């Protein structure tokens, strides 16, 4: 039995709004209506809604735009899209982006009521699971410990424990057992190494033949939490979420990625010293983590606030409660102030690079802009941007000859990182290449990051980590390219006149 719910109906046909309101009100729900996407999103921002029902095809902001913004603001809100027969394909795409269901016009009162009931039931089930998860973690979800003590704790958890270590050219992940205590930095900026190197090997054997499938995918028995990666920043946690959507969702799950992911404990930490290339806030992120981690570490004057974010993280916190100090309101207030200060630093540094339009719209409608040609002149095609990027995941498969194989008498299939910035990447067997020029490859990278990836997985393929800016031999700054597409600002970039 579904409890009463607050429902928002968005459709540019007034008769549809009235009909939906009548049908759902008779079921005991409180219904609000809007005649366009903009008005609907305004009402969504002003009130709480358990369910949003939106027409897919509307002038201005359509159903896909409504879906994305609703899910970004309130992931727990259920969304149903209304579609005509000709747009069923788009409705299915909406399902991939997080819609609970879709119904085709014309629909009957029973069809609408049933779809709404099922969506609300699934929402209630997810809420119950989340509540159970919080209860499993327990009331004591955070403790205050010393830096050395926390390091000792996590070193006892995994076989391989990586921590952020100060090096000559920035932070690098290093094995904890090889790092002097004074070189381990929990705050600071994200490490130079993208997190993907731990989960998506630059080079891996993925098959050997003749052989059995179990022999191919088996990496041997690994204990729980066999590896710990600590000091992960918000931009890299978001990148890991993006890779999870690529390798763990859909029709095919990458067995190698999954095996490593399942046996890795993620310890995030607040960013305390963002660099000049950082732009997490432009991507809708913050320089600290609030979910998606096993443990999060926040520096305060008296030590580290260690917070559990998963069931296994909660179990680990439980083991250290006795020897730890209770987190006081003053500690949480100090953390809040530190986070606000860092976020303001990042925002202030990016004040001149904030475009007026969403990145997705800028790139989607600017394929013919002269900005691409002018900015691509500096690109040398080295592909450093994609190799260092924490979300880029293109790969190349090739056969390894018998004489080079690890096992005599077998052929091997090797997977290596590839890049869309290489001239031969898009070339097909007949020799045709749809992206022959540097400009075409340059544009493709931006289209993939801000349009294609968003449409396929619901998030940007860029997390604002800034690594591509740091390594670019042509001194190309993605933020300035995007801003320039808006028609103003960044005049110093690539010699382009505003």
Comparing CA positions, the residue from 414, 411, 449 lying closest to residue 202 is 414
453-473 pLDDT, tens digit each: 988 888 899 999 999 999 999
pTM score, whole prediction: 0.71
* Assigned domain for 354 exists: no
483-496 pLDDT, tens digit each: 888 864 333 333 33
2-59 pLDDT, tens digit each: 668 999 999 999 999 999 999 999 999 999 999 999 999 999 988 889 999 999 889 8
Number of domains in the chain: 3
* Assigned domain for 164 exists: yes
Q: Give the integer Cα–Cα distance in Å for 52 and 71.
A: 10
* Assigned domain for 1 exists: no
Cα→Cα distances 308→311, 320, 330, 344, Å: 8, 12, 19, 26
Contact 198, 229 (CB under 8 A): yes
Assess whether 306 and 169 both reside in one domain: yes
399-450 pLDDT, tens digit each: 877 666 666 667 788 899 999 999 999 999 899 999 999 999 999 999 999 9
Assess whether 425 and 343 both reside in one domain: no
109-129 pLDDT, tens digit each: 999 999 999 999 888 887 776
* Assigned domain for 65 exists: yes
Comparing CA positions, the residue from 449, 458, 454 lying closest to residue 98 is 458
Assess whether 392 and 491 both reside in one domain: yes
Q: Are strands 101-104 and 78-83 parallel, antiparallel or unpaired?
A: parallel
Assess whether 342 and 365 both reside in one domain: no
Kindly report each contact of residues 20-27 with a partner whose C-beta sits within 8 Å and lies 24 or more positions away, as own/partner: 20/53, 20/112, 23/109, 23/112, 23/113, 24/112, 24/113, 24/116, 27/2, 27/113, 27/116, 27/117
Assess whether 307 and 233 both reside in one domain: yes
145-191 pLDDT, tens digit each: 988 888 888 888 877 899 999 988 888 999 988 888 888 888 889 99
323-348 pLDDT, tens digit each: 678 888 899 899 989 998 998 888 88
Assess whether 110 and 178 both reside in one domain: no
Show which of 91, 116, 137 is a domain's final residue.
Answer: 137
Structural domain span for residue 125? 6-137
* Assigned domain for 202 exists: yes
* Assigned domain for 241 exists: yes
Assess whether 190 and 277 both reside in one domain: yes
Show which of 111, 137, 163 is a domain's final residue.
Answer: 137
Q: Give the integer Cα–Cα distance in Å for 19 and 25.
A: 10
Q: What per-residue confidence (pLDDT) applies to 494?
A: 37
Q: What per-residue confidence (pLDDT) applies to 130?
A: 59
């Amino acid at each position: 039995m579904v409890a009463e719910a607050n429902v928002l109906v968005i459709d540019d046909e007034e008769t549809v709004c009235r009909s939906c309101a009548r049908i759902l009100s008779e079921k005991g729900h409180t219904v609000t209506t809007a005649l366009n996407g903009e008005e609907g999103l305004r009402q969504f921002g002003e009130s709480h809604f358990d369910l949003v029902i939106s027409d897919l095809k509307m002038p201005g902001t359509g159903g896909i735009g409504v879906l994305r913004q609703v899910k970004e603001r309130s992931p727990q809100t259920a969304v149903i899209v209304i579609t005509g027969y000709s747009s069923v394909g788009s409705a299915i795409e909406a399902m991939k982006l997080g819609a609970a269901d879709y119904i085709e016009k014309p629909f009957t009162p029973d069809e609408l009521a049933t779809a709404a009931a099922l969506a609300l039931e699934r929402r209630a089930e997810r809420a119950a699971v989340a509540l159970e998860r919080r209860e499993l973690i327990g009331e004591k979800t955070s403790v205050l410990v010393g830096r050395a003590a926390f390091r000792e704790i996590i070193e006892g958890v995994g076989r391989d424990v990586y921590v952020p270590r100060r090096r000559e050219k920035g932070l690098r992940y290093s094995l904890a057992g090889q790092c002097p205590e004074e070189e381990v930095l929990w705050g600071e900026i994200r490490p130079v190494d993208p997190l993907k190197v731990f989960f998506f090997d630059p080079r891996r054997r993925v098959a050997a033949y003749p052989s059995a499938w179990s022999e191919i995918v088996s990496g041997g028995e690994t204990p729980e939490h066999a590896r710990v990666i600590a000091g992960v920043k918000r931009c890299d946690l978001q990148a890991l979420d993006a890779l999870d959507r690529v390798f763990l969702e859909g029709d095919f799950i990458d067995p190698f990625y999954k095996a490593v992911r399942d046996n890795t404990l993620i310890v995030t930490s607040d960013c305390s010293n963002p660099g000049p290339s950082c732009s997490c806030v432009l991507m809708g992120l913050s320089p600290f983590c609030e979910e998606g981690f096993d443990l999060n570490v926040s520096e305060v004057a008296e030590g580290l606030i260690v917070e559990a974010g998963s069931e296994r993280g909660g179990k680990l916190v439980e083991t250290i409660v006795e020897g730890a100090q209770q987190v006081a309101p003053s500690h949480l207030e100090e953390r809040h102030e530190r986070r606000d200060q860092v976020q303001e630093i990042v925002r202030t540094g990016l004040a001149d690079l904030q475009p007026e339009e969403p990145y997705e719209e800028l790139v989607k409608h600017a394929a013919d802009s002269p900005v691409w040609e002018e900015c691509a002149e500096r690109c040398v095609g080295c592909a450093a941007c994609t190799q260092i990027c924490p979300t880029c995941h293109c790969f190349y498969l090739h056969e390894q000859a018998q004489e080079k194989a690890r096992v005599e008498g077998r052929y091997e299939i090797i997977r290596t990182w590839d890049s869309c910035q290489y001239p031969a990447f898009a070339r097909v067997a007949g020799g045709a290449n749809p992206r022959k020029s540097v400009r075409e490859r340059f544009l493709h990278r931006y289209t993939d990051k801000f349009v294609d990836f968003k449409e396929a997985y619901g998030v940007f393929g860029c997390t604002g980590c800034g690594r591509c800016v740091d390594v670019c031999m042509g001194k190309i700054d993605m933020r300035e390219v995007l801003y320039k597409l808006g028609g103003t600002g960044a005049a110093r970039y690539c010699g382009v006149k505003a």
